[in-house]
Structure 1
Amino acid sequence: MRGGVTALPDLVSSLLAVPLPRLVDAVLDRLVVPGYSRLGYAARRAGFRALPAGGMAGRTVIVTGASSGLGAATVRGLAGLGARVEMVVRDRERGERAREAVLAEHPGAAVEVAVCDVSSLADVRRYAAEVRDREAAVHGLVHNAGVLATERTETAEGHEVTLATHVLGPFLLTRELRPVLRAGAGPTAPSRVVFVSSGGMYTAPLRLDDPESREGDWSGGAVYARTRRMQVVLAELLADDLAGDGIVVHSMHPGWADTPGVARSLPGFHRVTGPLLRTDEQGADTVVWLQAAAEPGHSTGVFWHDRAPRPTHWLPRAAESPQARAALWTLCVSDTAHR
């Protein structure tokens, strides 16, 4: 059964010799299941332009959460285009195994492993200082590290771990790496920061009344969606903040990908949707494209899926107020301040 469904995207793709009309693409996106699954990717792939071989030669990109899933696939994609990639992981042994897998696919690729727990602000500062000391310039940063917690857990600094991993750590790492990202920016080749978010953010408004999720019954899925929403808004805010430095900031969602994290954290969802889930490479395609292609270098603060800009809200009236956006920025600045 699974083998039969797996072959379906190839059939869909073969029937589409031209890019999807924009209206059809938008309908796929709103219907979720066809748009987020591997069927949506197969339908849209017909309109994708191949990224030039060696197109990222001479560029250094840092990828967090790089030991498996979308992160590892992103590393493979970037390395295949000639980029020098630093894989940021929590467990060095797992990271080294993932690196060996990349080198087996791309012999001679410039891929290194660095250890940093993105949920720890102290560790982020340590790692960023090391990068600033040894790198003259960094050209790309991918915030891929993620967590879907089954119970409320705090970091050593007292922050809920999902908020720390998805929002506070990435915010701090971006600001700490600002000097080397600025140094990597050129007149026609900006440095690029990409947040790997989730389509689940559509289900959550920007809530800042209880950012540490201390009130009410715990729901890992709800906290996950709220922090993914925060990421998308934060990417827009950072885009404005970094524009003068030649740094563009984008966010994206990968659709439904068959990653170890999904299998582990959402076993029921994984069991039901398994035949329709995207491969890691399909989920990571837009991340690699955002780092490598010319088009996203001409814009900033955009939310993407399958190489196309997407709305950040299903209903326009659900957009965040300026006050709520300012409150998120204030929260990030305050909670990441060096005390």
Structure 2
Amino acid sequence: MPSSNFSPSSIPDLSGRVYLVTGGNAGCGKETVIGLAARGAKVFMGARSKDKAIAAIEEIQETYPSADIHFLDLDLSNFSSVMAAAKKIRDEETALHGLVNNAGIMGVPYSVTADGYEIQLQTNYLSHWLLTYHLLPLLQSTARSNPEGTVRLANLTSDGHARFPPSDGIHFEDLGLEKEGSMKRYCQSKLANILHTAQLNKRYGPDSSESQNGAVWFAAVHPGHINTDLNKQATGTAPGFVLRSVTPVMRCLGILDAQEKGAWSSLFAIASSDFKKSDSGAYIVPYAKIGTPSKHAQDESLAEKLWQWTETELRGKGLLE
């Protein structure tokens, strides 16, 4: 895959800064946590399993004994958990310098959450939208008291957003896509992540009317084709034994890269001085390069329609008060 000259070692000292990485106990999220904590940041590791998160933190601290990492209970398939996590951050921290909406599931069989949404749509998109909504005031207040470009947000997406989404991009008439394949549902959710980023940048970015209240810089990040547990989840696409046998072959062929590289673009977007003001709102591709997303992802009217639908939907559930 193409690569810039970016290296995680080029990230400046992050002492005194606070970050939240969702899905930070494994895969690209864990490597992102490592990259931030190794540079001196305080990092909240959002995860469903406390045991797995604590084990990951202890493993990281074996290499980086001074790493300041904290478990944050966060289940993205449950809106109540998202609300509680956001409240905990707001109650405990006076500043938040970066949010990496990294967690996700891919290609899982069709199911509906207790909140009533298709599980990939909620986990990958809706819950991150909700988390972002409730943390934006803290991000903005942090931006007001720090140098321009200090405070940033990265939404993880995938090049799949351009490959297999519904023909209309976001199929509002049937967002659950129950009769479609699992990867179509996944790709719709990943397109939603980019459209979310575009609207965030328009509304709260450096050129927005809100910029005087503290401009946040945004990016949509495609981490690359990485060898993580995400590939093992995709049992709605192929049986587990097939995925387990194919993954090592894909890695040997260079189709899947090592986990460490999966964090490079996130770290570039969230903390590198090479990511500029003019890059806010950009689509980042492997590794640490500005890319061009699909036509659907560049559709401003589609982005606005999705924002309005999401806001109406979540407000109707009393989640935005």
Q: What is the TM-score normalised by the length of structure 1?
A: 0.81
Write the mapping of 1:88-127 to structure 2, written as runs, cut at 5 A: 88-127=46-85
1:254–1:214 distance in 2 versus 1, CA, 3 Å = closer
Asked whether the 8 Å contact 2:177–2:185 carries over to 1, the reply is no
C-alpha contact (below 8 Å) 1:151/1:218 kept by paired residues? no
One-letter amino acid of the counterpart of residue 207, structure 1: I
Secondary structure in 2 matching 1:250: strand
User: Given the alignment of the two structures, is residue 234 of structure 1 paired with residue 215 of structure 2, yes or no?
Assistant: no
| Distance change >3 Å, CA 310–CA 320, structure 1 → 2 | closer
Query: Contact 1:152–1:218 at 8 Å: present in 2 too?
Result: no
- Correspondence for 1:15: none
- Superposition RMSD on alpha carbons, in Å? 2.0
Query: 1:54·1:80 contact (CA, 8 Å) conserved in 2?
Result: no
Residue 251 of structure 1 corresponds to 220
- Corresponding position of 1:23: none
**Would you say the 8 A contact 1:200–1:225 is kept in 2?**
yes
Q: Distance in 2 between matches of 1:336 and 1:119?
A: 14
Match of residue 200 from structure 1: 160
**Identity in percent:** 25
Pick from 99, 106, 119: which aligns with 1:148?
106
Shift of 1:233: 1.2
* Ranges in structure 2 where 5+ consecutive residues have no aligned partner: 206-210
In the alignment, the residues of structure 1 paired with residue 172 and residue 82 of structure 2 have an alpha-carbon distance, to the nearest angstrom, of 26
For each residue in 1:169-190, what CA deviation from the matched residue of structure 2 results, as whole angstroms up to 9, or x when unmatched? Answer: 1111111001211122123233
Match of 2:290 among 304, 309, 314: 309
Trace 1:56-205 onto structure 2 (pairs within 5 A): 56-185=14-143, 186-203=146-163, 204=165
Distance of aligned partners of 1:271 and 1:297 in 2 relative to their CA distance in 1, 3 Å threshold: same
8 Å contact 1:239–1:301 — kept in the other structure?
yes
Aligned partner of 1:310: which letter? G
Task: State the one-letter code of the partner of 1:223.
Answer: R
Higher helix share: 1
Which residue of structure 2 aligns with residue 21 of structure 1?
Answer: none
Q: Distance in 2 between matches of 1:170 and 1:86?
A: 15
Q: Is the 8 A contact 2:28 2:262 kept in 1?
A: yes
Unaligned ranges ≥5, structure 1 = 1-34
Matched, 1:213 2:176: yes
Larger relative CO (CA 8 A, sep 6+): 1 or 2? Answer: 2
CA deviation profile, 1:31-83 (whole Å, cap 9, x unmatched): xxxx2xxxx4xxx36x2356446621111110001111111111111111111
Q: Which residue of 289, 306, 315 maps to 1:328?
A: 306
Mapped contact 1:121–1:336 kept (Cα < 8 A): no
1:329 to partner: Cα distance: 0.6
Contact between 2:31 and 2:263, CA under 8 Å: does it hold in 1?
Answer: yes
* Range moving further from structure 2, 265-274 or 279-288: 265-274
Match 1:262 to one of 224, 231, 243: 231
Question: Is 1:273–2:250 an aligned residue pair?
Answer: yes
Rg larger in structure? 1
- Residue deviations 1:267-288 (CA, integer Å, cap 9, x gap): 1652541212211111111111
Query: How far apart in 2 are the matches of 1:83 and 1:148?
Result: 29
**Residues 301 and 188 from structure 1, CA distance in 2 versus in 1: closer, same or farther, beyond 3 angstroms?**
same
Cα distance in 1 for residues equivalent to 2:222 and 2:297: 18
Q: 1:320 to 1:302 in 2, by over 3 A?
A: closer
Large movers: runs of 4+ above 6 Å: none
